[in-house]
Structure 1
């Protein structure tokens, strides 16, 4: 929103098609040859959108695309360029363009939705809701009916010949949306119950990977925690870092609430990645607890590196308490009654977790300053009966002794 500053326009072409200007100028008795000062406060889209509207009034050709349609449409409505004011006015032409072009395009619908959201939020329902409906309708189509271009950059995909459109073809393009709009689209898709939970989980995975850097690989430097200077005042950079961190926290907590409850909808590795991010951005205790429970129930899908959860205060050190909590939740499952088939599945899972955790211990053992008491506690987290052999544990202990001696 902005105020148009010092634009000199001949009155009559604008008055003929702008209902707002007609009203503002109706009470003036100024000489028609003299300029009439008019302040247009908070016009949507700012000067560029006003320029499009002014050119239309003067009969100058304008170019409308999905990228500038939204500000132009909002400005035209603001200026009341409706059919009531003049036949064939800009609002009706833009409405026709919206319905016949924007809503028929995949990327155009996404671009218009994002633009409308960033300018007006949910208040511009005449654009936002039709765009959401159009996007959802296309997502729900069978992949064989997808005839438009889309973004799909999975590693190795471009090098292989493909006979069909992948089921998750839509996930990368909608990851461009702000988190609130993304949630609306995905929630609408889920409500139809037409897509399997793992496909919803893949959309969450793509979105999180795009917007939430993994602290394990960024060294905690993606945005950094803001710190106070000696004068107790925040620098501009620190304030920006805090704002970015708050945005990441909002994205993370929203993504976590969207994870389907069905087992296998997301992978154990993804859940542990989210837990690392939660630790880094200072997510709520309820968010961390949910991730610990879910990651614990799927710990057998992880790798040892996934349990390396950097401490927010020192990205080079690891939060062993969080990893221990995940393991404890996994072990707690064995205290519950289970059918024979489930017991066999859990026994196989236990064998995998033993190997994962012993490898994790070996990595932790490389820290020469890691307390021996804590190392022993970690080594004893797994009951002896869980191990068919102790080779992995012996290697971890041997590594620790070599590093600390």
Structure 2
């Protein structure tokens, strides 16, 4: 005799299931409470779920668990989803189910790398779900610990060293993408992460004392792989802000200068928050001696007549001088860079004399006393100003001559 299907369940509008009310209610506290309060004259009921974790796939797992008298086979592909769905349904036997999950989870060291990544993708799918999994955070910590165990930060780690460890079975040659001396083989596998999970993983790496250079490389890889595909602009802003916030937590010595200046070139055209803007300028300023002249030729803000954003460069210079005023080697590099910059902006007819003076006098006397090219830049600017004044005088003289000629011809001048 077949099981009576007297309950219709609409799961997130994806699929409709016809199930046995008694069986589900015997396991689900959520349905048991609902049916206990319901007074109905009909034996057929309908329940609509709008935010069921994992949708139809998650509900199918619950059905298997309930119809099999509380037993189910756990896999890396379903454990996070099952627990999240069980929490949602307020399973009466949840403590028993949780114990089963915990026991299975103890064997995570036997999971292959693809299984770990699949589980991570499931974590991402469920991270925004109501009553999200309590195992999720635990898994993230274990996942990052696995990467840390492999000494990803150390390019000297060999496959033989890995195979001799207690975790040899989970990262064998057929489960890891040809692991070699490269410390970045896993970057591509994690490029699918959304911003929220990316930030969680990066923070977990910091807590696990990952090498900051490796974290920095991962951050820049993620930024480049996601930024160009991001749309609309608000998503681009979110990516850039997340990257800036994470970089601000790293040792500045570990941050790639080229990656930082590329990030800088992207950020100047986006409306990022004031706090992120300040963090980025502090980072760029700290590495100003490693910049090129092209890095500094930032166009002026929209609506301004002058060619380049001189105020921005002055802020970067100020940030650099805070910590490097007496570092002769680094300071000399910045002096040479600023001389080139002043020479470039001196050709701007809209650059005010006060702003040019601020640029020319922004470096400490120690630096300016040993460098002569800056005076040549000042001379270039003064000559340009003189030429402009001469042009204005010539224009005024010609206007006066025209007025005189017209007057001689008895033409009234307005």
TM-score, reference length from structure 1: 0.63
1:7 to 2, 16, 35: 16
Partner of 1:254: 245
After superposing the two structures, state which structure 1 stretch, 381-390 or 184-193, moved more: 381-390
- Is 1:385 the counterpart of 2:369? The answer is yes
Does the CA-based 8 Å contact 1:53-1:90 persist in structure 2? no
Q: Secondary structure at the match of 2:128?
A: helix
The whole-number CA distance in structure 1 between the counterparts of 2:243 and 2:130 is 24
The whole-number CA distance in structure 2 between the counterparts of 1:65 and 1:84 is 18
The whole-number CA distance in structure 1 between the counterparts of 2:62 and 2:323 is 65
The whole-number CA distance in structure 2 between the counterparts of 1:362 and 1:36 is 80
The whole-number CA distance in structure 2 between the counterparts of 1:163 and 1:84 is 40
Q: Secondary structure at the match of 2:121?
A: helix
- Is 1:133 the counterpart of 2:142? The answer is yes
The whole-number CA distance in structure 2 between the counterparts of 1:98 and 1:310 is 56
- Is 1:352 the counterpart of 2:333? The answer is yes
- How far does residue 266 in structure 1 lie from its aligned partner after superposition? 0.9
Partner of 1:203: 218
- Is 1:74 the counterpart of 2:84? The answer is yes
Does the CA-based 8 Å contact 2:11-2:50 persist in structure 1? yes
Mapping of residues 102-251 of structure 1, within 5 Å: 105-120=115-130, 123-142=132-151, 143-144=157-158, 145=162, 147=172, 148-149=175-176, 164-174=180-190, 176-193=192-209, 195-210=210-225, 241=233, 243-244=234-235, 247-248=238-239, 250-251=241-242
After superposing the two structures, state which structure 1 stretch, 3-12 or 108-117, moved more: 3-12
| Structure with larger Rg | 2
- How far does residue 50 in structure 1 lie from its aligned partner after superposition? 2.4
- How far does residue 107 in structure 1 lie from its aligned partner after superposition? 1.8
Does the CA-based 8 Å contact 1:204-1:259 persist in structure 2? no
The whole-number CA distance in structure 1 between the counterparts of 2:12 and 2:139 is 30
- How far does residue 264 in structure 1 lie from its aligned partner after superposition? 1.0
**Structure 1 residues 354 and 80: alpha-carbon distance in aligned structure 2, compared to 1, 3 A threshold:** same
CA-based RMSD of the aligned residues comes to: 5.1
Does the CA-based 8 Å contact 1:53-1:72 persist in structure 2? yes
Does the CA-based 8 Å contact 2:289-2:334 persist in structure 1? yes
- How far does residue 133 in structure 1 lie from its aligned partner after superposition? 1.8
Q: Deviations over 1:120-153 (max 9, x none)?
A: 48x5222232233223322331343364446xxx
Partner of 2:4: none
Does the CA-based 8 Å contact 1:365-1:399 persist in structure 2? no
- How far does residue 256 in structure 1 lie from its aligned partner after superposition? 4.3
The whole-number CA distance in structure 1 between the counterparts of 2:219 and 2:270 is 18
TM-score, reference length from structure 2: 0.62
Does the CA-based 8 Å contact 2:12-2:50 persist in structure 1? yes
Q: Deviations over 1:77-107 (max 9, x none)?
A: 433567689x9x8995898489558686342
**Structure 1 residues 180 and 310: alpha-carbon distance in aligned structure 2, compared to 1, 3 A threshold:** farther
Does the CA-based 8 Å contact 1:311-1:319 persist in structure 2? yes
Does the CA-based 8 Å contact 2:342-2:360 persist in structure 1? yes
**Structure 1 residues 66 and 246: alpha-carbon distance in aligned structure 2, compared to 1, 3 A threshold:** farther
Does the CA-based 8 Å contact 2:54-2:81 persist in structure 1? yes
Partner of 1:341: none
**Structure 1 residues 99 and 173: alpha-carbon distance in aligned structure 2, compared to 1, 3 A threshold:** same
The whole-number CA distance in structure 2 between the counterparts of 1:308 and 1:362 is 11
Does the CA-based 8 Å contact 2:297-2:309 persist in structure 1? yes
Q: Secondary structure at the match of 1:119?
A: coil
Unpaired runs of 5+ in structure 1?
Answer: 151-161, 224-239, 337-345
